[in-house]
Structure 1
């Protein structure tokens, strides 16, 4: 897959900035850039070529991006091969991933608070703060997801 003029530099920017901001390896950022800019879904082999990456690396990066809600894997009608594409609702998917992560951490915090009732006051306070933080974050992210989903659908 040949990249258009200027896309190489843009994809490297994705690798550097998205990768760092999301805590991803630079290759995941580059993979997101390739898929976001691609005019069509790409096979794993096409991704490998575009990224100059091994099959294992390309596979691992697509799995990370799928888990983070921005890429989807599917088979096109009549094809036996899976392809990958940037989701049309990628930013909703990304926000949904953040909600899911915070819900999981809220569950951990709630369980830790119950299981830590026997701890000294200072440690119980830390567990309470952790729970309070994840209650706040989860509520806020859920509200953002509702609002952003509405905006993404063109509702005002």
Structure 2
């Protein structure tokens, strides 16, 4: 069971996830996987620590897997699975965000094509397309390269 300080940390991590548009339980679960010992945990262990049902853990852990935050690992000698924070998960998350920006830019370009020469609508949609293109460029490959350099230089 987590200590009082760890419990406070988990609640704060849950709120942090909520502020980012996520699920509080997912935040608490991810927060625990960042500090747990051992680093891999079973569904039963997660349910016990977080004081939620195994069904809840199963649902949320799948969401965290799909988002690239955690991975399922085998538990030697058993048929169980365990879950841990995914190595380089942050990089995959950043790359998925870049893909999201790209998809939004493509969609805004489609919208501009559909509305044609309507200046009022074109201005609003054009600004949105420009913003997404800017964010994609700024948040894109160069950011990933800078992160990799940062890690290689031992700054983290």
Whether the TM-score (by the shorter chain) exceeds 0.5 is: yes
Measured in 2, the distance between the counterparts of 1:103 and 1:10 equals: 35
Of 36-45 and 7-16, more deviation after overlay is shown by 36-45
Residue deviations 1:67-88, cap 9 Å, x none? 3332122324554322211123
Pairing partner for 1:134 from 132, 135, 139: 132
Structure 1 stretches of 5 or more lacking a match? none
What is the TM-score normalised by the length of structure 2?
Answer: 0.83
Q: Which residue of 2 aligns with 1:57?
A: 56
The whole-number CA distance in structure 2 between the counterparts of 1:83 and 1:131 is: 42
Hey, what does 1:85 align to over in structure 2?
84
Q: TM-score, normalised by structure 1?
A: 0.83
Tell me the equivalent position of 2:18.
Answer: 20
Segments of structure 2 that go 5 or more residues without pairing to the other structure are none
Maintained 8 Å contact 1:69/1:97:
no
**Structure 1 outlier segments of 4+, above 3 Å:** 76-79, 153-156
> 1:128-149: per-residue Cα shift (whole Å, max 9, x none)?
1111111111111112122112
Quote the Cα distance in structure 1 between the aligned partners of 2:71 and 2:129.
Answer: 33
Paired with 1:133 and 1:110, the residues of 2 have a C-alpha distance of 12
Q: Secondary structure at the residue paired with 2:73?
A: strand
